[in-house]
Chains A and B, each alone.
Chain A
Amino acid sequence: MNIVVLLKQTPDTESVIRIAGDGRSIETQDIKWIINPYDEFAVEAALRLKEQHGGTVTIVSWGPQRVVESIRTALAMGADKGMLIDDEALEESDSLGIAKVLAAAVQELNPDIVLCGHRAVDYDHNQRGPMVAELLGWPHLPLAVSLECDGTTVKIERPVEGGKMVVESSLPAVVTMGGSHAVWNPRYASLPGIMKARKKPLDVKKLADLGLNPEECGSGAAKIRLVSLEMPPERKPGRIINGDLDTEGKAKELVRALREEAKVI
């Protein structure tokens, strides 16, 4: 089976985010970069498919050279090869522009299935998977918490308001991953895997190598523009109910505060 994972590098969810001087981007110099956690689930799912059916897992990503580390991490987990599309023209692209680039990469690789996270933890647009599927004319199965594939069809389970929906399609298809770390439990990049990853092929491409024109996917083609960013308001400190009251008094005061101040009951 020929499997492609679309992987985005995002800031570590524990990084301290600061808005840059322009008010519409973030300061990146102190950020630790990781594989978008949902894309990490996709890598895990892809490796399990490979273990079942054989074949190859190709990691496709975009962005500057720092992204190489994330691709190599996926290779160290067990993926076979990587492709990085590193082109300055993509710096201010919107989701659709990126999706066009990824769709072109997928077409070149001609896989049976494409996996990626249903969202990235940085901008939370939830657009990459569906857009790539649309551009390719392939079915899109969203929010997978399980994945079964027999080589010609793919079946996933997805949660719906606490319930479960099972959807199926023929291949080729795009599946976007939902669930959590506990659901997918992605494997570590083992130390021997890291040593092997150094020798695995990683192609770095420009837009022109994929037959793309910056005018169709670069910043000029962006249909949406990020106007401004704002930090969440600082959380107020917790409050301790007056310790001088007896238990009944404390309970009364707590109920009053929850009802009248917090307005949650």
Chain B
Amino acid sequence: MDFNIPENLKMMANTIRKFVERDLEPISQQVEEDDRIPEEIVQKMKELGLFGISIPEEYGGLGLGVLGECIAYEELSKTNLCFRTRVATNNGIGSQGIVIDGTEEQKRKYLPKIASGEWTACFALTEPDAGSDAAAIRTRAELKGDHWVINGRKHFITNGDIADVATVFAVTDPEKRARGGITAFIVERTFPGYHVGKIEKKMGLRGSHTAELVFEDCIVPRENVIGGDAMIGQGFKTAMKVLDKGRLTMGASAVGAAQKLLELSARYAKQRVQFGRPIAEFQAIRFMLADMATQIYAARNMVYHAAWLRDTTGAPVTKEAAMVKLFCTEMVNRVADMAVQIHGGMGYMKECPVERFYRDVRLMRIYEGTSEIQKLVISREVLKAFE
């Protein structure tokens, strides 16, 4: 077994670590207060190449495998998580529909702009009555001559407020629905009938926005069906493939955030004095640190192994990806809880970064597939082996 991380990925991790320490961490609290990332920081993210990590080299990205993407997210998640979220839709759910199932023309037209960060991409599947039950979407698309007309409402769309292009899922055959009746479209912000609706007020992840997208007789050219006419009705499969891939990178983000929480907690425990001693000398605190470190170790190795498996075999690793998302995101929530506990009253205060992490990581157990959905996926795969 070779557990060595390739040299170029290590260098990339170093670059991102430096960027986090020098440029992101110093403003992370400010971003939290302002609820927005300064434009010059987005510019630096573009220059570093952060928007195109997962996009193939021939379309202007870095073409890193899933392991590379995971290592990048692990580092990028050691600060305010909104920075990761800013680039994540371009590398992940916003672009992968086109990467996985798009036609050559679609890839050439859209991916370079997404990879450079010139355009922000988002993924519009969820609707008010279709969350975990994604097949229940009601947004309709009807073919009228040489274009499709989309009507409907998407909500909880990450980066929906700033996106220039969205992967939109709509029902094209109400009889068939998930079995051949849902189609994926590439919809540009400037297409007639595309509107950004309400921007949600959230528990955390300030600096990143979650918006409603409204389509009112939105005109989409016929060639913007992902994968072309042959893929009409195949959109639900595309959505599942995109989400499968994203589960691993979400796990990596959870590991990065948890590592940061462990570092903050260990530092604080060594410096905080109670009963005449640093609290790091008390067993109750030490055992929490040990639990955090052990869980992070297990989680990280899961992420790396599943990413390596996917990169070397090319298989979707559905079961492993769901396990990674489930375990890592639950893990980071336990770690965040312990971090707040170690910090005591200070951990509850807005000036303390663990307070922010505690709220921000809560979403990881919900978006891109809840923990419960992951368990359904895992159990289905487990039982398949005994059919």
Contact = CB atoms under 8 A, between A and B. Distances in A.
Contacts, number: 45
B47 A76 contact: no
Contacts of A197: 8, 11
B14 A73 contact: yes
Given A188-B18, A188-B19, A195 B7 contact: no
Interface stretch (B48-56, B308-316, B353-361): B48-56
Closest 7 CB pairs of A and B: A191-B49, A192-B49, A194-B11, A189-B15, A190-B48, A190-B49, A188-B15
Contacts of A190: 15, 47-49
Given A190-B47, A191-B48, A192-B62, A69 B11 contact: yes
Interface string A59-79: 000000000110011001000
Contact of B48 (A68, A188, A195, A198): A188
Contact of A195 (B8, B14, B19, B72): B8
Contact of B10 (A69, A193, A198): A69
Contact of A189 (B11, B53, B57, B72): B11
A73 B47 CA distance: 16
A193 B50 CA distance: 12
A194 B8 contact: yes
Given A72-B7, A72-B11, A195 B57 contact: yes
Nearest to B17: A32
A191 B53 contact: yes
Given A76-B11, A189-B14, 10 more contacts: A69-B11, A188-B15, A189-B11, A190-B47, A190-B48, A191-B15, A191-B53, A191-B62, A194-B15, A195-B63
Of B18, B48, B72, most buried by chain A (CB within 10 Å of CB) is B48
Interface in A167-213: 188-195, 197-198
Contacts of A192: 49, 62
Nearest to B51: A191
B12 interface: yes
A156 to B, nearest CB: 26
Interface of A: 68-69, 72-73, 76, 188-195, 197-198
Nearest to B7: A69
Contacts of B15: 76, 188-191, 194
Interface in B216-245: none
Interface in B138-171: none
Interface residues of B, number: 18
Contacts of B47: 188, 190
B62 A195 contact: yes
Contacts of A76: 11, 15
A195 B48 CA distance: 12
Contact of B50 (A68, A191, A194, A195): A191
Interface in B1-46: 7-8, 10-12, 14-15, 18-19
14 contacts: A69-B10, A72-B7, A72-B8, A76-B15, A188-B15, A188-B19, A189-B11, A190-B47, A191-B15, A191-B48, A192-B49, A195-B57, A195-B63, A197-B11
Contacts of A188: 15, 18-19, 47-48
B49 to A, nearest CB: 4
A192 B11 CA distance: 11
A129 B371 CA distance: 59
A117 to B, nearest CB: 18
A188 B50 CA distance: 12
A198 to B, nearest CB: 6
Contacts of B53: 191
A73 B12 CA distance: 9
Contacts of A198: 8
A192 B116 CA distance: 11
Interface string B275-286: 000000000000
